[in-house]
Structure 1
């Protein structure tokens, strides 16, 4: 039960939703720009892609909203890449703060790497997003955000406990998220 709750409450789409708002706030420190920029990133990198995933699960295109079957992850990955790319283009066209562009680029970079790995092996996207989010928040807000590592460990535990990933897949996702996602963000801000 706890593993299911953790896996759902700290799912990638939920974390990206929260991360979009948190980074938008740090970048603008104003309510309306935070809402506007955060919503743009949340729509293109979380809400709309999750809508496609839920639609696919409900119509039987893949096994569930977690897309447990590695082969079934191609369409969700491509959807995320395309929609995040659209989001990035809109951020650039409308002159978004650098930190928000860095966030979108970091998420896209991580998605491309984890997608490439998933062609052969099912890396944990839950772990990748959680680890990347902690590094991004630490860069944006400071060392106190490292406390989020506890959530990364909890997410990893939940994915293994539920039988959705092996420990190696969770560790690979954690490293990819921290190094690629978090690293790209740190380099770009």
Structure 2
């Protein structure tokens, strides 16, 4: 029996409910509400980042998974992650342009840029870091996005956001329990997400 098949149901639930696409879709709405203070503008700018950072890339991922180009909608095989990551970068780049040209709040542009920069570094690690004689290491995007989201919320809302730290640990546990990542991969992912997304958002916002 495979690790994924024998994993606790909670691990599968956490992996789906707190998946990167879910967090990248919801986080911009929260940040936009904090930045604008009104619902219409929050929905507008949150939707721009959510659409280009989450929905469009997820459409590409699901389409490719159904055609067998990579393993499932979580793209569990490292080598299959190149096209989805490039698609996400391209889509998010369009989102950043739309935010800039549309006069979006500084925090929204900062959030999109923080996501973009984090993606670039995670892409470099995934395909460029030499490990065990091979080039590339499957760093956990689940852990990176979860940790990055909590850090951005901490910068925006203060210490109360740290209540989300146990959720980051839960996400990391779920990825290891499912056999999709090793412990070092989720730890490094969480550190990259927190440091890269947090520092770039703080500096740019």
Match of residue 29 from structure 2: 21
Please identify the structure whose Cα radius of gyration is greater. Answer: 2
Decide which of 2, 11, 17 is 1:9's aligned counterpart: 17
After TM superposition, give the deviation of residue 153 of structure 1 in Å.
0.2
Alpha-carbon distance between aligned partners in 2 of 1:75 and 1:35, rounded to the nearest angstrom: 29
For normalisation by structure 1, the TM-score amounts to 0.99
Match of residue 6 from structure 2: none
Listed one character per residue, the Cα deviations across residues 142-181 of structure 1 (whole Å, up to 9, x for unaligned) are 1100110011000000000000000000001001000001
Match of residue 99 from structure 2: 91
Match of residue 71 from structure 2: 63
Alpha-carbon distance between aligned partners in 1 of 2:193 and 2:155, rounded to the nearest angstrom: 14
Decide which of 157, 165, 170 is 2:181's aligned counterpart: 165
Decide which of 159, 169, 172 is 1:156's aligned counterpart: 172
Match of residue 81 from structure 2: 73
Match of residue 147 from structure 1: 163
Listed one character per residue, the Cα deviations across residues 72-94 of structure 1 (whole Å, up to 9, x for unaligned) are 00000100000000000000000
Match of residue 132 from structure 2: none
Decide which of 146, 150, 160 is 1:134's aligned counterpart: 150
Q: Secondary structure at the match of 1:62?
A: coil
Superposition CA RMSD, Å:
0.5
Give 1:33-52 correspondences, 5 Å limit.
Answer: 33-52=41-60
Alpha-carbon distance between aligned partners in 2 of 1:34 and 1:153, rounded to the nearest angstrom: 29
Match of residue 100 from structure 1: 108
Match of residue 182 from structure 1: 198
